């Protein structure tokens, strides 16, 4: 394997490792995540919704009174249905628009709190939006850095890439002494080889019988 290939696959493995770390440490809930969308933006969108409904209603009524034309002409006999249909269309358009705007706002805020370049990522999802709709968001959700979390020993915020806490030297990615795979601090037994964690490392004789598997 050439040096270049090795480097590329190395960075790919590092990327997969980060994705795994994220899955392990991040327990994201939709509504908690939604809260990072700025309040002002949410209220602006609500106001826009009411305004759009008001305008659609007024225009429809004005047309009906002056020209006899009404939205969805087949509902002419029951104008209330026409108004409801129009309100439904306005709501649908608003929902699609608001989904994208909130997603863009989320990417912007989320990238910032993950220490990523938020301007660049926001631009990327916006630029890819007309051509490929969700691809930009997909790339973002696959590529985003794991969230910083609190050191389990001293509580100081640590980056997900850190192996040791810079404040208290706590081992942030403890591995099973038997099979060398990564385990979580709270595991009592290794999920890969059932080795009892918290007991001293096995003798070198026992170790040599178990093939070391790399992460």
CA 104 to chain centre: 11
Q: Hey, which residues does 171 pair with through a beta bridge?
A: 164
Nearer to Zn ion by Cβ, of 91 and 153: the residue is 153
Stretch that binds Zn ion, among 28-36, 38-46, 128-136, 185-193 (CB under 5 A): 185-193
The DSSP secondary structure of 174-205, one letter per residue, reads -B-TTT--B--TT-SB-TTT--BTTSPPPPHH
Which DSSP letter does residue 35 get? Answer: T
| Neighbour count for residue 194 (Cβ, 10 Å) | 10
Window 140-169: residues binding Zn ion (CB under 5 A)? 151, 153-154, 165, 167-168
Using the minimum distance from each CB to Zn ion, give the nearer residue, 125 or 151: 151
Our finding on whether 170 is near Zn ion (CB under 5 A) is: yes
Q: Residues in contact with Zn ion, total (CB under 5 A)?
A: 14
Q: Output the smallest distance, CB 191 to Zn ion, in A.
A: 8
Nearest residue to 158 via CA among 137, 172, 143 = 172
- Output 6 or 167, the one with its CB closest to Zn ion: 167
User: Interface with Zn ion by CB under 5 A: which residues?
Assistant: 151, 153-154, 165, 167-168, 170, 176, 178-179, 190, 192-193, 195
């Amino acid at each position: 394997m050439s040096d270049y290939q090795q480097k590329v696959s190395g960075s790919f493995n590092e990327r997969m490792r980060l994705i795994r770390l994220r899955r392990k440490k991040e327990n994201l809930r939709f509504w908690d995540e939604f809260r990072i969308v700025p309040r002002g933006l949410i209220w602006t969108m609500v106001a826009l919704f009411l305004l759009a409904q008001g305008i659609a209603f007024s225009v429809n009524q004005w047309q009906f009174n002056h020209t006899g034309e009404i939205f969805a002409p087949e509902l002419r006999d029951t104008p209330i249905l026409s108004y409801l249909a129009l309100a439904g269309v306005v709501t649908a358009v608003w929902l699609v628009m608001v989904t994208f705007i909130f997603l863009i706002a989320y990417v912007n805020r989320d990238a910032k709190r993950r220490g990523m370049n938020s301007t660049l990522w926001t631009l990327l999802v916006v630029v890819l939006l007309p051509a490929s709709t969700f691809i930009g968001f997909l790339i973002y959700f696959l590529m985003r850095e794991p969230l910083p979390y609190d050191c389990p020993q001293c509580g100081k915020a640590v980056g997900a890439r850190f192996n040791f806490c810079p404040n208290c030297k706590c081992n942030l990615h403890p591995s099973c002494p038997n099979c060398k795979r990564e385990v979580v601090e709270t595991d009592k037994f290794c999920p890969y080889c059932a080795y009892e964690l918290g007991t001293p490392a096995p003798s070198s004789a026992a170790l040599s019988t178990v093939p070391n598997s790399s992460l």
